[in-house]
Amino acid sequence: MTMEFTDRIERVEPSATIAISNLSAELQADGIDVVNLSVGEPDFPTPEPIVEAGKAAIDAGHTGYAPSNGIPELREAIADSLASRDLAYDAEQIIVTPGGKQALYEIIQSVIGDGDEVVLLDPAWVSYEAMVKIAGGSLSRVDLTPYDFQLEPALDDLAETVSDETELLVVNSPSNPSGAVFSDEAMAGVRDLAVEHDITVISDEMYDQITYGVEQTSLGTLDGMADRTITVNGFSKAYSMTGWRLGYFAAPDGLIEQAGKLQSHSVTCATNFVQHAGVAALTECDDDVAQMRDAFEQRRDLLVELFEDHGKDVPIGDGAFYCMLPVNDDDQAWCETAIKQAHVATVPGSAFGTPGYARLSYAASEDRLREGVERLAANDCL
């Protein structure tokens, strides 16, 4: 029989970040030493208190279903953590999900229907586009590349793009893939436009704890934003917990009610004992987070130096652990050469809506970063 598939699934491609990471794993399995600068995954072990709490939770029998929206202890700990950043959400306004990705999926499914307009700021993380397409929404994009990836100088462009028809705007600061941290003025500009046109905003704050010398501003803290902002965050990056799959979103009551239905009919809940480990992450790991953050900062500085040594001036943002390296127009071909000849895995900028760049993740050791840049240079990729 010929199986038929829906339009909504056929209109998306597999995640480019995951696809390249898989390819890199295949090459490694064939005995090729690949410097993997593709997927955004910290190379540190999960901090000990989290691992211990996870094991203890299994031993204590927390292996059954958990309440669909999350265990009360974790929702409380998340509410406290948000409050420490001046975000006023009750524990009941939080849904704990298996990863931030599932949080975004549930939100977009709940607020975007056929033809609804979603505005992205390019370069934008790969999965926003796919999730909007699956939901049937239409995309409008604002290009931040002419402004060194900053939002403030692009506010006029954003003002021209949004209208009363715009349903949702996605803001991700610090940004994956550019590393840019948007200024307070930029965030105030977003607020003004969101209020004027009555737009819902997703503030994806996955990298909020990974900033270098600047502070990330949470959109939900700005006047007029509390009832229109959905704050998304997760444990993958700051706590090096990618494989545990733990994230969350905090939102006005109405969305919690609607998206909670999707959570209960799809994943049921985030893994019970993982949620207990999440409490330890939020309450016992500030030092571990700070140490990893410091290491990322050193790596960022090293990468800038290594590029300079090869005559490349690459401005790298003040947050997250990515940079966009300007390459030639055919970024797909560049990345193919980089992985096949230099054995350095990167992600084409076109996956983020901005051809002409390759994204490099510097969540890799200093030795691997040195090796990666050497190999790119030796293969005429720089």
Q: Which residues bind ligand GLU (CB under 6 A)?
A: 15, 17-18, 39-40, 101, 125-127, 176
**How many Cα atoms occupy the beta-carbon half-sphere of 149 within 13 Å?**
28
Q: How far is the CB of 378 from ligand GLU (least distance, A)?
A: 25
Paired tokens of 61: 């029998």
Q: How many residues bind ligand PMP (CB under 6 A)?
A: 13
| Alpha-carbon span 149 to 121, nearest angstrom | 9
Question: Does 242 interact with ligand PMP (rule: CB under 6 A)?
Answer: yes
Q: How far is the CB of 164 from ligand PMP (least distance, A)?
A: 28
| Alpha-carbon span 185 to 313, nearest angstrom | 27
Q: 40 or 54, CB closer to ligand GLU? A: 40
Out of ligand GLU, ligand PMP, none, which partner does residue 39 contact, by CB within 5 to 8 A per kind?
ligand GLU
Q: 174 or 189, CB closer to ligand GLU? A: 174
The closest of 98, 329, 325, 352 to 234, measured between CA atoms, is 98
| Alpha-carbon span 58 to 299, nearest angstrom | 36
Q: How far is the CB of 291 from ligand GLU (least distance, A)?
A: 21
Asked if 239 and 46 touch (Cβ cutoff 8 Å), the reply is yes
Q: How far is the CB of 300 from ligand GLU (least distance, A)?
A: 16
Interface pick for ligand PMP out of 234, 278, 317, 353 (rule CB under 6 A): 234
Segment interacting with ligand PMP, rule: CB under 6 A, options 88-96, 98-106, 149-157, 275-283: 98-106
| DSSP classification of residue 319 | B
Give, in degrees to the nearest 5, the angle at Cα 86 between 82 and 89.
Answer: 50
| Alpha-carbon span 333 to 187, nearest angstrom | 36
Out of ligand GLU, ligand PMP, none, which partner does residue 18 contact, by CB within 5 to 8 A per kind?
ligand GLU
* Alpha-carbon dihedral sign for residues 169, 203, 190, 164: positive
Q: 132 or 306, CB closer to ligand PMP? A: 132
Q: Please report, as ranges, the residues that interact with ligand PMP according to CB under 6 A.
A: 40, 99-101, 125, 172, 176, 204, 206, 234, 236, 242, 247
